[in-house]
Each structure stands twice: as structure tokens, then as C-alpha cells.
């Protein structure tokens, strides 16, 4: 009996301590980055690889240095196991572009960007390259050109990196590399950063991906957060594409280059039987729809994949891109687009959409739906809530969804089959399906989500949102009857004490409260 009492006491104590830990108010300490941390030097940094429109024979490399480096080069050779494979290398002079962001909001930078496009490469060949000014060189970095035939290959797809980039996106993109180290390119579906011109955030993005950016080609499209006004005090209607975008990416110029705002944001490439198309969902949508029709009408590839930022079928609360959906959905149906990869909503959703019956389904889901599979995903550390009714208001169904989870997708194309797998940042399989191309008629869809872990939501994962302790929450709601708590933020005061910023709302009435750890309201502001 004595032993049982001791064990019972220990168990009670453990439960109490766990409960206290779960409700303890913790202020997250964000890293501080000094300005010198992101300054360019004579040494090449931010090295990134992009394929050309024909990745069998063309690839580009771009990098950054201080403005002191006026002349730069790239050297390339076929890679072999011999360490001095560079004896067969060729040297190419780089195009150099000055980026003067010294007066641009959040930039404050002057740097030179250098780029070289390697042409007349041999298909299905491993190359090594390095970049520098003739004295200060990068390491040798390897990449492989696309094959002439429709050989099996994989690529990665990620939604918004955007927030906590170096802190949290780093683990996600590195997990993607672990899952598919031989991936040929990475699709970035917009909002790579949160503040368009922020030199710090772009530095975080490049450091988070590190060597991956230089050896696995990037296929990026801009999101709404890649657009902001250039100068403090300017209206939002004067927003411009991130000043770093065009200097740091060398992308195919086969899109709508007659429209300056769309240059290197709308483009496509053909990779081993897949036409990969990138759209800019923030600018000139009507013009892009006309261009897209032409690109799809003249498409010799077996598979078609399209990526852009704003989803046709929104996954999160309070969002609906109706005009974008009405513009693109008929085009996707007409040309039987296979897969659409999107971001923006900071949740996960995957499904197929009626009424066009282009798919034959097998596996778990027996509904016949359109052959286009739509996916929304998030890779960074910012999370939203799912729509309560999913896609039902649009006559559609989400076959798999999720909240509060960083995800990276591995898409493997093996001739007649697309194998899709979504992984968490810790390597668990979260979603999976196969899409099989039939010689005649619709695709066959095989839902494999039952092979994955259980669905993750805000109610069964570590809380993303800050919360009030239950006793303080009760006092607040008693003092403000009829109000609901919209948002809680835990803050640290000057004396290292903890307090809570609380937003209350009831109809059009809103209060902003500041509450100390004892539950005392020491600031109240009312907004009507």
C-alpha cells in the first residue's frame, strides 16, 4: 500500500507539472541579426542554379558579391570521380548588374549580382562549376542536365517559406533534401520572404537552403509578399516586385516579357516529359490567361504541372480567389492540366474538383472528379486555420487537409505515373497519391493517404497560437460579456515580466487590452 501511495503521488505530481508546463507563458526570443551579417564581400555568396527553358542544354548560375567586384567568371567542366576534373573546364565571363538598394525600405544594400548562362550542354550529364572573380572562388558545385528521354525523376515543391525563415524553414528544406537528394529542381510557390525588399530575409532564405540552392535548380514564382512599395510612406498601389528578384534569379524569358512587370515571373520549361509552368497571380492576370492557352495548346509533353501563389480553391478561413478561379479553371479543364501546386494559405489541402469527369478513381476515394489535382501547402513557420467547410461551397471536396504543420512535397515522375508524397519537417509521410496516365481517356487516381500518419490540426498539435491562462480568460470574458477573444500575444516587458496583448471583438466593437500575469488589465483601448 505504501508503494502504491508513493507511485500515486509521483503520478499526480508528474501530471501537475506537465499541466503547468503546457500553460506556462513563454516569450519566444527571435534571433537578432547585425547588419554586417548580410553584407556582401569579395567572396561569392547566394549562389543559385536555375534551368533554362530547355534544361537538357541550358542552365544558369547567379551569385552576389560586393560592388568592389567589377569582373566575375564561372568555370564549368564535366564532373568525374577524378579530383582534377577541372582540367577540362571552360571559363565564361559573367554579366554583372549593380543593385543599389541603399534607399529602399528594408534593403539598405549595395551589391553586384553576377550571372552566367551555360549553353550547348550535353543532356543527362553531370557537370561541376564554380564562380568567382579570378582570385576569390566558390567551391565546385555539381548539377545534372535533363535527359533527352522521359526518364524517371523527382522534384520538390514547397509553399510559403515567408516567416521564421532561417529559424524554421531551414529544417524543412533540408528534410526535403534528405527525402529526395537527387531531386532535379525545387518549385517555390511564392512568398519566399515576408517583406519584399528585406535584405535580412533574403539572407535568411539563402542561408537556410545553403548549398542546396547551388546544386538543385530553383523554379520560383512570386507571391503577394514579394511586392511592396520601394520607399517609406508610399501607398500600397505603388508596390513593386522585390528589388532582389530579377538580379538573383536567372529564369527563362519565354513568358510575357513584353510586359515589364511580368518579366522572369511568368515562364515555363520542359523537363523529361513534363511541361512545368509558372504564373504570377499578383499581376496582369487576363494577359497571362491568354498566354497560358497558347502554351497549353502547343504542348508535346505527357504531363502538365502549373504553379502559382494564390489558390484557385482556398484552404484557409476568410479567403476566396473567385476571379482567379473563374479565369483559370476552364483553361485547366480544357487542356487537362494534371497537377496544380499553390501556396498562400498557410495550411494544407489536396483534392479534385467536379463537374468534369476526367479522372477514374481507385483506392480509398471512389468519386469521379476532374483530372486536375489541386494542392495547397506551407513550408515555413507561419500557420493559419482551415476553412470550416473545406471546398464544399464550390462543389469540390478536400481529400486530405491539415493545419499547424510544415510540409515538403516530393513529386516523382516515372513515365506514365506521377507519385506524390508529402512529408512533415520531421520526415513523417503526411499525404500520398498516384496519378496514372492512360493511353486513352482520363487519368487514374489512386489515393494513398491511408498509408500516412493521422491528420494534424490545431486541436491535436502543440498550440501555434498564444493563449491566456484559463483563470485570466474567465475573468476577461466575465468583464466583457458577449465578446470573444480574437487574438492573444505574449509579450515581455522592460523588466522581463510577462504580459498579454489581447484583442476582443463583438460585432463592430473591438477592445485592445494589456493584461499582466496576475490578470490585472493595465491598458484598455476601444475601437468602434
pLDDT in tens, 439-468: 887 888 999 999 999 999 999 999 999 999
Average pLDDT of the residues in 20-48: 84
Q: Assess whether pLDDT exceeds 90 at residue 393.
A: no
Instruction: Identify whether residues 194 and 215 lie together within a single domain.
Output: yes
Domain that residue 449 falls in:
148-459
237 domain residue, yes or no: yes
Instruction: Identify whether residues 350 and 386 lie together within a single domain.
Output: yes
Average pLDDT of the residues in 241-254: 98
Distance, in Å, from the CA atom of 60 to the CA atom of 185, rounded to the nearest integer, reads: 13
Q: Among 3-7, 105-109, 246-250, 259-263, which stretch is predicted with the lowest mean pLDDT?
A: 3-7
Hey, what long-range contacts does 504-508 have (CB within 8 A, 24 or more apart)? 504/476, 504/480, 506/480, 506/482
Collapse the DSSP code of 431 into the 3-class scheme (helix H, G, I; strand E, B; otherwise coil) and give the result: strand
Instruction: Identify whether residues 419 and 512 lie together within a single domain.
Output: no
How remote is the C-alpha of 482 from its chain's centroid? 39
Distance, in Å, from the CA atom of 183 to the CA atom of 152, rounded to the nearest integer, reads: 11
End-to-end CA gap in the chain: 63
Instruction: Identify whether residues 378 and 509 lie together within a single domain.
Output: no
Q: Which residues on neighbouring strands pair with residue 397, listed in sequence order?
A: 352
Instruction: Identify whether residues 231 and 315 lie together within a single domain.
Output: yes
Query: Domain count of the chain?
Result: 2
Closest CA to 333 of 357, 309, 361, 313: 357
Instruction: Identify whether residues 171 and 287 lie together within a single domain.
Output: yes
Whole-number pLDDT of residue 496? 81
Instruction: Identify whether residues 330 and 274 lie together within a single domain.
Output: yes
Residue that has been written with the C-alpha cell 535533363 in this structure: 146
User: CB neighbours of 513 closer than 8 A, spacing ≥ 6?
Assistant: 476, 500, 501, 502, 503, 504, 521, 523, 524, 525
Backbone phi and psi for residue 290, each to the nearest 5 degrees, phi listed first: -65, -45
Which helix (H) or strand (E) element contains residue 110? strand 110-118
Residue that has been written with the C-alpha cell 549562389 in this structure: 47
476 domain residue, yes or no: yes
Instruction: Select from 412, 437, 459 the last residue of a domain.
Output: 459
Instruction: Identify whether residues 286 and 362 lie together within a single domain.
Output: yes
Instruction: Select from 459, 487, 512 the last residue of a domain.
Output: 459
Instruction: Identify whether residues 182 and 298 lie together within a single domain.
Output: yes
Distance, in Å, from the CA atom of 188 to the CA atom of 182, rounded to the nearest integer, reads: 17
Q: How many percent of the chain have pLDDT more than 70? A: 92
307 domain residue, yes or no: yes
Distance, in Å, from the CA atom of 527 to the CA atom of 503, rounded to the nearest integer, reads: 10
Q: How many percent of the chain have pLDDT more than 90? A: 83
Instruction: Identify whether residues 225 and 160 lie together within a single domain.
Output: yes
Whole-number pLDDT of residue 4? 53
Number of Cβ atoms within 10 Å of the Cβ of 88 = 11
Cell numbers for 333, please give them. 479543364
Give the pLDDT confidence of 395-411 residue by residue, as tens digits: 787 899 999 999 999 99
* Residue 430 or residue 20, greater confidence: 430
Average pLDDT of the residues in 407-417: 97
173 domain residue, yes or no: yes
Cell numbers for 101, please give them. 538598394
81 domain residue, yes or no: no
316 domain residue, yes or no: yes
Distance, in Å, from the CA atom of 219 to the CA atom of 49, rounded to the nearest integer, reads: 9
Residue 23 — pLDDT band, cuts 50, 70, 90?
A: very low
SS3 content of the chain, % helix, strand, coil (to 5): 20, 35, 45
294 domain residue, yes or no: yes
Distance, in Å, from the CA atom of 299 to the CA atom of 164, rounded to the nearest integer, reads: 39
Q: Assess whether pLDDT exceeds 90 at residue 471.
A: yes
Instruction: Identify whether residues 205 and 349 lie together within a single domain.
Output: yes
Instruction: Identify whether residues 407 and 493 lie together within a single domain.
Output: no
Angle between helices 322-334 and 285-297 (to 10 degrees): 10
Distance, in Å, from the CA atom of 419 to the CA atom of 434, rounded to the nearest integer, reads: 5
Give the pLDDT confidence of 146-202 residue by residue, as tens digits: 999 999 999 999 999 999 999 999 999 999 999 999 999 999 999 999 999 999 999
Instruction: Select from 414, 436, 459 the last residue of a domain.
Output: 459
Q: Assess whether pLDDT exceeds 80 at residue 414.
A: yes
Q: Assess whether pLDDT exceeds 60 at residue 22.
A: no
Number of Cβ atoms within 10 Å of the Cβ of 5 = 9
21 domain residue, yes or no: no
CATH number for the domain that contains residue 483 = 3.10.450.40
State the pTM of this model. 0.90
Amino acid at each position: 500500500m505504501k508503494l502504491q501511495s508513493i507511485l500515486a503521488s509521483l503520478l499526480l505530481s508528474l501530471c501537475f507539472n506537465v499541466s503547468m508546463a503546457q500553460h506556462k507563458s513563454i516569450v519566444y526570443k527571435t534571433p537578432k541579426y547585425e547588419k554586417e551579417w548580410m553584407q556582401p564581400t569579395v567572396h561569392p555568396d547566394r549562389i543559385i542554379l536555375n534551368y533554362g527553358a530547355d534544361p537538357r542544354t541550358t542552365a544558369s548560375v547567379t551569385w552576389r558579391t560586393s560592388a568592389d567586384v567589377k569582373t566575375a567568371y564561372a568555370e564549368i567542366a564535366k564532373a568525374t570521380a577524378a579530383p582534377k576534373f577541372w582540367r577540362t573546364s571552360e571559363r565564361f565571363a559573367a554579366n554583372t548588374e549593380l543593385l543599389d538598394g541603399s534607399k529602399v525600405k528594408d534593403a539598405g544594400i549595395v551589391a553586384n549580382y553576377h550571372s552566367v548562362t551555360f549553353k550547348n550542354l550535353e543532356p543527362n550529364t553531370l557537370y561541376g562549376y564554380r564562380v568567382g572573380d579570378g582570385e576569390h572562388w566558390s567551391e565546385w558545385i555539381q548539377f545534372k542536365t535533363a535527359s533527352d528521354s522521359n526518364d524517371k525523376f523527382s522534384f520538390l515543391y514547397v509553399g510559403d517559406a515567408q516567416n521564421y525563415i532561417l529559424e524554421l524553414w531551414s529544417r524543412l528544406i533540408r528534410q526535403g533534401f534528405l527525402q529526395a537528394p537527387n531531386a532535379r529542381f525545387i518549385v517555390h510557390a511564392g512568398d519566399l520572404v515576408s517583406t519584399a525588399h528585406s535584405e535580412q530575409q533574403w539572407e535568411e532564405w539563402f542561408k537556410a537552403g545553403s548549398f542546396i540552392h547551388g546544386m538543385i535548380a530553383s523554379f520560383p514564382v512570386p507571391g503577394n509578399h514579394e511586392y511592396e512599395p520601394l520607399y517609406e510612406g508610399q501607398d500600397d498601389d505603388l508596390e513593386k516586385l522585390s528589388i532582389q528578384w530579377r538580379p538573383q534569379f536567372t529564369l527563362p524569358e519565354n513568358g510575357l516579357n513584353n510586359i515589364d512587370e511580368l518579366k522572369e515571373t511568368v515562364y515555363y520549361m520542359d523537363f523529361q516529359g513534363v511541361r512545368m509552368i509558372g504564373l504570377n497571380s499578383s499581376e496582369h492576370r487576363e494577359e497571362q490567361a491568354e498566354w497560358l492557352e497558347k502554351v497549353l495548346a502547343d504542348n508535346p509533353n505527357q504531363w502538365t504541372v502549373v504553379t502559382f501563389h494564390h489558390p484557385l480553391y482556398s484552404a484557409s478561413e476568410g479567403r476566396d480567389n473567385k476571379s482567379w478561379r473563374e479565369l483559370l479553371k476552364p483553361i485547366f479543364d480544357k487542356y487537362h492540366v494534371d497537377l496544380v501546386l499553390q501556396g498562400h494559405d498557410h495550411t494544407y489541402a489536396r483534392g479534385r474538383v467536379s463537374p468534369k469527369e476526367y479522372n477514374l478513381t481507385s483506392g480509398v476515394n471512389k468519386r469521379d472528379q476532374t483530372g486536375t489535382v489541386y494542392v495547397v501547402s506551407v513550408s515555413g513557420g507561419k500557420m493559419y486555420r482551415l476553412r470550416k467547410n473545406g471546398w464544399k461551397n464550390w462543389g469540390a471536396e478536400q481529400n486530405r487537409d491539415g493545419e499547424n504543420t510544415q510540409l515538403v512535397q516530393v513529386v516523382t515522375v516515372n513515365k506514365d505515373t506521377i507519385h506524390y508524397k508529402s512529408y512533415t519537417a520531421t520526415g513523417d509521410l503526411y499525404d500520398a497519391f498516384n496519378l496514372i496516365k492512360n493511353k486513352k481517356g482520363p487519368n487514374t487516381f489512386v489515393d494513398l493517404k491511408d498509408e500516412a500518419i493521422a491528420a494534424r490540426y490545431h486541436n491535436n498539435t502543440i498550440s501555434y497560437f498564444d493563449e491566456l491562462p484559463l483563470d485570466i480568460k474567465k475573468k476577461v470574458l466575465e468583464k466583457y460579456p458577449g465578446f470573444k477573444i480574437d487574438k492573444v500575444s505574449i509579450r515581455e516587458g522592460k523588466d522581463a515580466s510577462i504580459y498579454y496583448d489581447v484583442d476582443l471583438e463583438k460585432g463592430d466593437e473591438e477592445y485592445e487590452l494589456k493584461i499582466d500575469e496576475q490578470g490585472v488589465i493595465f491598458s484598455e483601448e476601444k475601437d468602434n
